[in-house]
Amino acid sequence: MDKPYVIGMDMGGTNTVFGVVDSRGSVISKSAIKTSNHPEDVNLYINDIYVELSKLIQAAGGIDKIKGIGIGAPNGNYYTGNIEHAPNLPWKGIVPFAKLMSAKFGIPAALTNDANAAAFGEMTYGAARGMKDFIMITLGTGVGSGIIIDGKVLYGHDGFAGELGHTTAVRNNGRLCGCGKTGCLETYCSATGVARSAREILESTDKSSLLRNIPSEEITSKDVFDAAMEGDEVAKEIFNFTGKILGESLADFVAFSAPEAIVLFGGLSKAGDLILNPIRENMEKNLLPLWRGKIKLVFSDLKEADAAVLGASALAWEL
């Protein structure tokens, strides 16, 4: 193989992580910089990336060994290569990021949003390898998603299809979401959503719970998991409530794309059967009969520490 490596880059609001990846999905080397070091000029930020990433590239045999750069970014538009009005990044408006990176490094670059990058990575290296139709759900601070149909990411006409975290899960008196809507799936089934559910459920019951030992506003999804593992009934109720909402939504998602599998990824998926069992029960209960028992519900195979870089890198093999 003339060009045995690709670059994967994941842009977060705080840190940007990048690495050199081979065709087997092994991260050969990895580094990071602060995303917000140069809020006044994205070109200065790209210069910082160039300095650090060039070290990794040289160690891998030089730029001639690199096929391209794949980038996962908030509000990343695959069609245009632009980052468009990303609220958590320091540069506002439309940033032609893939074009700027390609010009800087002299190799092709492609960009998509972080959840679509995760789906690409799962299809290329992970649990969905060999699948042509699946949905990736990322359960982190928010709820992201990537939809693969016939081996291709579904982008829609404008590049932003697949925002399943902002479908309405609760129609009446739903929680206010950061997007401005109410009742979004993200407000219930993200890590922050679980913490909100914990506070609400604790207020609505007199049952004893280990969670009452923690100040209400400081409860995290990890606290709920730890309590549930200790046999805490209220904590288990919180996971059952979360799993019910997500399972019902997944049944709806199956109806429009008939996936072979739904892959769950992110911090909340670490809860294992505590979250998986109520999700599966409520998904199956709400599926049309023709899909019952047919849709695989699995956790990601990607190592979490490398998943974002791997997902982004998968884009670059297509260049």
With vertex at residue 93, the alpha carbon angle to CA 89 and CA 99, rounded to the nearest 5 degrees, is 85
pLDDT score of 133: 98
DSSP assignment letter at 175: P
Q: 155 and 259 share a domain?
A: yes
Residue range 270-284: average pLDDT?
96
Alpha-carbon gap, residue 136 to 198, rounded angstroms = 26
Residues 80 and 138 in one domain: no
Residues 167 and 291 in one domain: yes
Cα angle, residue 81 at apex, residues 79 and 83 outer, rounded to 5°: 115
Please check the confidence at residue 305 and state whether its pLDDT lies above 80: no
Give the rounded percent of residues in the chain with a pLDDT score beyond 90: 86
| Region 15-36 average pLDDT | 94
Each residue of 161-214: pLDDT tens digit? 999 999 999 999 999 998 899 999 999 999 999 999 999 999 999 999 999 999
141: pLDDT strictly greater than 90: no
Instruction: Quote the mean pLDDT of the chain.
Output: 95
Is pLDDT above 80 for 224? yes
Q: What is the pLDDT of residues 67-119, one digit of tens each?
A: 999 999 989 999 999 999 988 899 989 999 999 999 999 999 999 998 899 89
Most confident of the following: 9-13, 137-141, 211-215, 298-302: 211-215
Mean pLDDT over 127-131 rounds to 95
Indicate which CATH number applies to the domain containing 45. 3.30.420.40
Same-domain check for residues 192 and 219: yes
Q: Which residues form the domain of 150?
A: 131-300
Residues 51 and 135 in one domain: no
Task: Give the dihedral sign, CA 222/225/231/233.
Answer: positive
Is residue 288 exposed (0-12), middle (13-18) or buried (19+ Cβ within 10 Å)? exposed
Token pair listed for 186: 């993200």
Residues 237, 149 share a domain = yes
For residues 170 and 105, membership in a common domain is answered with: no
Residues 107 and 218 placed together within one structural domain of the fold: no
How confident is the model at residue 125, as a pLDDT? 92
Q: Inform me whether the pLDDT recorded for 252 exceeds 70.
A: yes
Angle between helix 233-257 and helix 221-229 axes, rounded to 10 deg: 120
pLDDT band at 1 (very low <50, low <70, confident <90, very high): low
- The pLDDT of residue 172 is 94
Number of domains in the chain: 2
pLDDT band at 32 (very low <50, low <70, confident <90, very high): very high
Angle at 258 between CA 247 and CA 189, to 5 degrees: 25
